[in-house]
Amino acid sequence: MKKELIKSILVFFLLGIVLTGCQEKVDTPVENASSDSKSTTSESTEGTNHSHNHDDEKQKEIYSGIFEDDEVEDRELSDWEGDWQSVYPYLLDGTLDKVLQKKVEKNKDKTFEEYKDYYKVGYETDIERIVIKDNTMTFYKNGEGKAGEYKYHGYEILTYESGNRGVRYLFDLVGEVDGVPKHVQFSDHSIYPTKAEHYHIYLGDEDHGTLLNELDNWPTYYFSNLSGEEIVEEMNAH
């Protein structure tokens, strides 16, 4: 009898341990429910950050020329509105040497002199300043500006030998104006409406098809209120 009683007590004792253990396991998610609620906010924040990071990553891909055709959108001339200066003089006077040196160290595909020669061809232009406002572009040579009104012509997606791609946004001169290009193409590494921070420009009186074949000369412009050193910082940030 005593043995049976002892067995019964042991059974109840062990059962209590098991039940307590299960209850702890059941309670764990319940305790996390309120923390889940925090976690949801946290996950939601992380999700937002992830989305933001994803956007940053996407921007880097687009900047490098990696995107799908259906991601490209039309843009207006106002995306390039502002007062812009050519970086060509900064290349010639040595201000951009720090940028070239960084490219040498990072890419190791060209010597400093080879990069200098490459960008001398790329940046070369006699248009030292461009002012864009509303639908008008004013081109300055030797301090003298000539203006023309431009209308949107569409965009073209180009595929380069490297396999990366780029988008050029095309504009046409309205009417006949002496001293300004009939056709203008912008490339700023973006593929949808956004304010440009700098751009490469292709311009001339040739048709757009001819301009699209220009891959060696791409005069580059940054805001006129930036110093040479600030432009160096901007370039090295990319």
Tell whether the model's pLDDT for residue 10 goes beyond 70. no
pLDDT tens for 148-166 read 999 999 999 999 888 889 9
- Residue 8 tokens, joined: 């019964």
Mean pLDDT over the full length of the chain: 81
CA distance to 31, 158, 196, per residue, from 83 (Å): 59, 27, 12
Cβ atoms of residues 208 and 202 within 8 Å = no
- Quick one: DSSP state of residue 142? T
Question: pTM to 2 decimals?
Answer: 0.76
Q: Distance of alpha carbon 13 from its chain centroid, rounded?
A: 67
Helix 112-123 and helix 97-107, axial crossing angle in degrees, nearest 10: 120
CA pair distance 222, 231, nearest whole angstrom: 7
3-7 — which CB contacts under 8 Å span 24+ positions? none
pLDDT of residue 3: 42
pLDDT tens for 42-78 read 222 233 333 334 477 888 889 888 899 999 999 999 9
pLDDT tens for 181-210 read 999 999 999 999 999 999 999 999 999 999
pLDDT tens for 14-47 read 333 333 333 323 222 222 222 322 222 222 223 3
Tell whether the model's pLDDT for residue 8 goes beyond 70. no
- Helices in the chain by DSSP H: which ranges? 2-63, 88-92, 97-107, 112-123, 208-212, 228-237
